[in-house]
Copies of this chain bind each other. A is one copy, B any other.
Amino acid sequence: MNQTLNQTWQERARPNRLERRIEFADYQSLRDFLDHAADLSEREGLYPDLGFGKNYLNITIHINDGDQELSQVQHQFARKLDQLLGEKTH
Contact of A49 among B27, B31, B49, B51 (CB under 8 A): B51
Closest-CB distance, A55 to chain B (whole angstroms): 8
Nearest CB in chain B to that of A52: its residue? B50
Q: Classify the interface of chain A: helix, strand, loop or mixed.
A: mixed
Binary flags per residue of A21-48, CB closer than 8 Å to B gives 1, else 0: 0000001000100100010011000011
A53 part of interface (Cβ distance < 8 Å): yes
The residues of B that contact A90 with a CB separation of less than 8 Å are none
A12 part of interface (Cβ distance < 8 Å): no
The residues of B that contact A52 with a CB separation of less than 8 Å are 49-51
Nearest CB in chain B to that of A47: its residue? B54
C-alpha spacing A53/B51, complex, angstroms: 9
Nearest CB in chain B to that of A30: its residue? B38
